[in-house]
Amino acid sequence: MKTFGYVRVSSKEQNEARQIETMKTQGIGERDMFIDKASGKDFDRPKYQLLKQMVREGDTVVFDSITRMGRNMNETMSEYDWFVKNGVQLCFVKEQMINTSNEQDDIMKQAIQRIILTLLTAFAEKERDEIKTRQAEGIAVAKKKGVKFGRPAVEIPKDWEKYYKQWKDQKISAVKFMQAVGMAKATFYRKVKEYEVDK
């Protein structure tokens, strides 16, 4: 029987260090942690799916909170039930009232636990929706103020057309073209695409 930890942050910019420290306080080493940098809206996450393949009956999986498991009420409850059905114990550091156990709880305790789980997963989904709404509102306000989003447009360099024609006529290679206009490969091909659409 093993104990695993699952850590999730929503984006690459967010730091998972706090959750990792929480796992360490639970006695879980980094080799037994599964870390995803992905949204909690669904469960199509590589490390989470790997965790499900690894766990066996009698194992325990620790989460910092139910929100780290997921932020979709119905799917999160379904995943919770999957672990229970397969004999895997669940431990939520911040919501210990929904932790599972090997003991056969009485029907009232199970019912209360289910109600709490339903409320927590509903709040998690609602919070995610509110965050998305605030982000969309913030972006809309910023756009009205003239704030630009996304990558800054790359201007066509001097002599672009000359080198473009030579490249199309196969007089120079793409590498020579990139070097002449001082562009990285990804930027170069993106600019070629834009240029050819606008032509």
Residues annotated catalytic, as ranges: 10
What are φ and ψ of residue 184, in 5° steps?
-75, 160
Among candidates 93, 88, 98, 27, which has minimal Cα distance to 65?
Answer: 93
Q: Copy the structure tokens of residue 184.
A: 């990285």
CA gap 138, 87 in Å, rounded: 44
DSSP state of 170: T
Q: Copy the structure tokens of residue 192.
A: 């070629």
Dihedral sign of CA atoms 52, 55, 57, 61 in order: negative
Q: Copy the structure tokens of residue 157.
A: 């360099």
Among candidates 151, 150, 181, which has minimal Cα distance to 192?
Answer: 181
Residue 62 makes CB contacts below 8 A (sequence gap 6+) with 3, 4, 5, 6, 23, 26, 28, 91, 92, 93
